[in-house]
Amino acid sequence: MSRVGKSVVAVALALSGMPLTSGAKAADMPGQLPLPAPGPVLTESVLSGWYLRGDVGAGWGMTTGSASTAGLINPIETALGSGVTAGLGVGIKTRWLRTDVTLDYLAPVNYRGTQIVANDVTAKLQSTTALFNAYIDLGTWYGFTPYIGAGAGAAFNRVNDFQRAVPPFAGDASRSQTNFAFAGMAGVAWAVAPNLQIDLGYRYLNLGDVKAPADVSGQTTIRGVAAHEVRVGLRWSFDDLPIR
């Protein structure tokens, strides 16, 4: 190529922006746009993260019966009364799964049994439970989220004011013990604010067999102690987590 021709080509390349070197890469060819820089990863924001809860309600006690040591008349027609319950907890939620740890107090309920005449065996039974619970949220419609759940842990049971007719009880009228406890729950939560829900639920709580105080004549065991509870509470989410 003549010197004049080379000059014309050089001017044309300079006007087009193409490098004059022969080692130009294909990505630098005219008409090629630079690749965009990677942007931030988008996340889906859902109501999830740590939450606090508080619940109050009423519990109706039940028992499967009583069993006494040899030599004692076994109480029949046994029954437990009703009482109030209250509890606190902390948990975490991710999408449809929730888990929490709760501490609940069941106020003393009356125990009644019959040896000779109606209700001649009496006591008060109080329980404090510590449970680990897991729940499955079943979807949300118009702000309402039904759920089911289950829990397991420990029950700290205490029997007070124990009295027996035959033979008359003569001993310390109080006794405490720790049992395995489990629960089953179902209910619905209503979102009244972005981070606040009202929880209305039912809970079946099983406290195990509870031994009454003993004396020289023997001891009575209250078997299958449990409660049906209706509870209302608040759940406040204070640390929402973004879900990828």
State pLDDT tens for residues 107-163: 999 999 999 999 999 999 999 999 999 999 999 999 999 999 999 999 999 999 999
Sign of the C-alpha dihedral computed for residues 113, 118, 123 and 127 taken in this order? positive
pTM: 0.78
Return all residues near 62 (Cβ < 8 A) that are at least 6 apart: 79, 80, 224, 225, 226, 227, 228
For 98, the token pair is 């929730």
Alpha-carbon gap, residue 147 to 201, rounded angstroms: 9
- Select from 160, 154, 187, 188 the least CA-distant residue to 174: 160
Q: Please name the CATH architecture into which domain 54-243 falls.
A: Beta Barrel (2.40)
Domain residue extents for the chain = 54-243
The rounded mean pLDDT for the chain is 86
**Percent of the chain whose predicted confidence (pLDDT) is above 70:** 78
Model confidence at 95, pLDDT cuts 50, 70, 90, reads: confident
Contact 210, 179 (CB under 8 A): yes
